[in-house]
């Protein structure tokens, strides 16, 4: 009982201090992150740190993204609740859960089967069993569920993955950390009639997107 109360308090503090006070103003995003139980998406060993201002290890050399980064990605996607969204790099499943609060349908894809399995279980426990969790190379998107109104990529890519752009509907929005393995910038790409429109956002540091349109297999 007290654990649940503590998590609720910690979550509310996270939303105010780490998000609102730092300029996240999209009320739907703030509400969504105030609802998703982040503690269910981190390994038990680091559960007490679930609401801290940073990324945390989730196994397999991967991390659950910092809350501020998750909020920034969601705000850039500008969702209104009607969309089908693709989340590349499921990891813990936390970003997928927040997207499920913000959009109509969420498809998420992870290359490491064990992480996908753990994420699927966490999503079900947290009440997001409708999220479609897949295993595969997300740098190629999920063609059989395309087109998407929005795509969020949680791993760093050297360039905008062509396959992902091609799976956006007209006016669709893609957010991807672009740069080197060591540092990137979050980029918003909008699919427009005249071609891709790009807008740079904040500097960030993500684990590399491996695969066909990422940094290769190694």
Binding to ligand SAH (CB under 6 A): which residues in 87-116? 88-89, 91-92, 94-95, 109-112, 115
Minimum CB separation of residue 149 from ligand SAH in Å reads 18
The string of DSSP codes covering the chain is: -HHHHHHHHHHHHIIIIIIGGGT---HHHHHHHHHS-GGGGS-GGGGGGTTSSS-EEEETTEEEPPHHHHHHHHHHHT--S--EEEEE--TTSHHHHHHHHHSSEEEEEES-HHHHHHHHHHHHHTT-TTSEEEES-GGG--GGG--EEEEEE-SBBSS--HHHHHTEEEEEEEEEEEE-SS-EEEEEEEEETTEEEEEEEEEE--PBPPBTTTTB--
- Of positions 11, 19, 40, 62, contacts ligand SAH by CB under 6 A: 62
Nearer of residues 113 and 171 to ligand SAH, judged by Cβ: 113
- How many positions of this chain bind ligand SAH (CB under 6 A)? 25
Q: Does 139 bind ligand SAH (CB under 6 A)?
A: yes
Write the interaction track for ligand SAH spanning residues 165-204; mark x where CB under 6 A is met and - where it is not.
----------------------------------------
Q: Does 151 bind ligand SAH (CB under 6 A)?
A: no
- Of positions 138, 141, 172, 177, contacts ligand SAH by CB under 6 A: 138
- Of positions 67, 141, 177, 211, contacts ligand SAH by CB under 6 A: 211
Token pair listed for 110: 């992870």
**Is the separation of the CB atoms in 149 and 157 below 8 Å?**
no
Minimum CB separation of residue 218 from ligand SAH in Å reads 12
Q: Would you tell me which residues interact with ligand SAH (CB under 6 A)?
A: 62-65, 88-89, 91-92, 94-95, 109-112, 115, 137-139, 154-155, 207, 209-211, 214
């Amino acid at each position: 009982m007290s654990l649940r109360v503590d998590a609720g308090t910690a979550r509310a503090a996270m939303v105010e201090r780490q998000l609102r006070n730092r300029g996240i103003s999209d009320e739907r995003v703030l509400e969504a992150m105030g609802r998703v139980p982040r503690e269910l998406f981190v390994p038990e060993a680091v559960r007490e740190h679930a609401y801290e201002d940073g990324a945390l290890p989730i196994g397999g050399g991967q991390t659950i993204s910092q809350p501020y980064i998750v909020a920034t990605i969601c705000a850039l996607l500008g969702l209104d609740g009607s969309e089908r969204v693709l989340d590349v790099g499921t990891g813990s499943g936390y970003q997928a859960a927040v997207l499920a609060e913000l959009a109509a349908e969420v498809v998420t894809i992870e290359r490491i089967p064990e992480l996908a399995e753990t994420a699927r279980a966490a999503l079900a426990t947290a009440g997001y069993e409708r999220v479609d969790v897949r295993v595969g190379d997300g740098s190629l998107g999920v063609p059989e569920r395309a087109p998407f109104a929005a795509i969020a990529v949680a791993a760093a890519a050297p360039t905008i993955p062509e396959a992902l752009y091609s799976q956006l509907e007209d006016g669709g929005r893609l957010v991807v950390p672009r740069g080197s393995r060591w540092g990137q910038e979050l980029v918003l790409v909008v699919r427009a009639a005249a071609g891709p429109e790009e807008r740079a956002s904040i500097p960030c540091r993500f684990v590399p997107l491996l695969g066909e349109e990422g940094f290769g297999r190694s």
